[in-house]
Chains A and B, each alone.
Chain A
Amino acid sequence: MGSYQHAQDNWFAAFMIGFIALAVLINIWRARAGRELYIRRIPGLDAIDEAIGRSTELGRPVTMIPGLTAFGVEAVQALTIFKYITKQIARFATPMRLLTANATVYAVAQEAIADAYNEAGRPDLYDPDSVRFLSSEQFAFASGVAGLLQRERVAANFMFGIFFAESLIFAETGNIVGAVQIAGTVSITQVPFFVAACDYTIIGDEFYATSAYISREPVLLGSMVGQDLAKIAFGSLILGGAVLSTVLGADHPIIQLLGKPGGWEPFMEWIRLKLGGG
């Protein structure tokens, strides 16, 4: 019985992972070397700027919610976007609140937001109390966020990260107080709720592209371009594989070799038969 997780009997897996890693690393290296890597502008970015403008006009706070995101890739990307927003609002001294459900994200968010105010040249505006850990329990966190959104009558609500069933509670409460809401998540089951209740939703991988576009960080830019190459490779393989499966049959050794654990042996057996004239 083969495994998808290890390369020992799945050379195709090892090849694909090697290819993706190489595509990402080479593009990070290109970005670091000063090459201008292109990332198309996501329409949601304009919406972010519009929401910041509106909160500035109204003089009411901006809330940023990374959801239940544990500390990892999504949290870092969300904080990159939140740093951008904070730098924008720092110019007009608009108050902000960052609400988190994870202790590690909370600690890192405090540093990130303090950095953002420093970079904007307004370190005096940073209030440690503006970054708040509410609760690690999902619905206790949701009730805390809902209460704060209502009490402070926020003008703009940004939700970026990983969300679960609490997503609609946030988005609906934001809607009730009339906040402009922009959400971005890779939690595909929560995207429909954001689409229904928010002014703009950044879907799936657009979330990663947004943070790469905003930050122009070589690592993020290189990763996005490398991932695009991987997507093109995946698409070509799927199209080519489907054509080959149609012509040769889905259980042909070549199709077995492409991705199936233990596909190497039947493929080599088939090659031996071919070479042996069998």
Chain B
Amino acid sequence: MDWIQEFLPLSVERINVWIGALCTFAIYSILYRENPFYRFFEHMYIGLAAGYALGPYLVDVIYRYWWEPIRADGIWWLAFVVPFGMYLYFIYNEKYGWVSRLVIGSLIGAYAGLTFQAFSSRYLPQLQGALSKVLWYPPNATGEIYLSTLINNWIFVIILLSVLTYFTFSFEHRGAVKRTALVGRWFLMIGLGTIFGNTVMARMALLIGRVYYLLDSWLMIRVGGG
């Protein structure tokens, strides 16, 4: 009887746990088929997410990064930013729809500039790392070179060049290029398989977490961990 008393949603804490369990069952019920139970919780989830997103937008963006700098630091020109962003709503007006394109154009321009800037920090270190791979014992090496390092370097350079060949599009893949690209495709698939295995492990951990919640917090069956 004590267990039933504790199990039932008779306190705020237990009501929270029950809602959590109910949501879990509702969302997982789609694995069987689409049903009204799932539909209700799906729409509730989307509604809650919309409401929840509004909070951070108002507090973290509008208040912290817009209103406060204007009010406290006197950065007056920020006052133009939000009205400019709101020009996007002109998209719904046939006559003045072109105004929204000012915002869209600015977004694309900013994105292009940032991508250009990020290119150097993302790809050039990789290029530097790749082109300094030693493929054989250098005649004037200062440190010890291991055979395993050389084998790794060979594998690295071969995979890199073959995959790079696979991702060329402006000419027909024929003869040696076609064979190299095919090797690249195989290596790519092996790499993707590794990612798949790793991520499935992580997803299983998430599922175990949910099952643990249902068993431990909801049903109060103490499992593992002593």
User: Chain A residues in contact with chain B, CB under 8 A?
Assistant: 3-6, 10, 12-13, 16-17, 37-40, 42, 71-73, 76, 104, 107-108, 110-111, 134-137, 139-141, 143-144, 146-147, 150-151, 165, 168, 173, 188-189, 191-193, 195-196, 203-206, 209, 212, 224-225, 228, 231-232, 234-235, 237-251, 255, 258-260
Contact A235 B45 (CB under 8 A): no
Contact A137 B49 (CB under 8 A): yes
Count residues of chain B with CB under 8 A from any CB of chain A: 66
Contact check: which of B46, B125, B142, B161 meets A251 at CB < 8 Å? B142
User: Chain B residues in contact with chain A, CB under 8 A?
Assistant: 27, 30, 33-34, 38-39, 41-42, 45-46, 48-50, 52-53, 88, 91, 100, 104, 107-108, 111-112, 115-117, 119-121, 124-125, 127-128, 130-136, 138-142, 153, 157, 160-161, 164-165, 167-173, 188-189, 192-193, 195-196, 199, 203
Other than A72-B107, A225-B170, A242-B157, give 15 A-B pairs with Cβ distance below 8 A: A146-B30, A165-B203, A192-B199, A206-B169, A228-B168, A235-B161, A239-B157, A242-B131, A243-B135, A246-B134, A249-B142, A251-B142, A255-B131, A255-B132, A258-B132
* A247 proximity list for chain B (CB < 8 A): 138-139
Name which residue of chain B comes closest to A151, CB basis: B34
Contact B131 A245 (CB under 8 A): yes
* B193 proximity list for chain A (CB < 8 A): 192
Given A137-B53, A248-B138, A249-B138: A150 touches B34 (CB 8 Å cut-off): yes
Q: How far is the CB of A232 from chain B (nearest CB, A)?
A: 7
B interface: dominant SS = helix
State the CA gap A139–B169 with chains docked (Å).
35
Name which residue of chain A comes closest to B128, CB basis: A259
* A243 proximity list for chain B (CB < 8 A): 135
Q: How far is the CB of A66 from chain B (nearest CB, A)?
A: 15
11 residue pairs bridging A and B, Cβ less than 8 Å apart: A4-B125, A17-B119, A143-B42, A143-B45, A150-B33, A151-B39, A192-B195, A228-B170, A238-B127, A242-B133, A250-B132
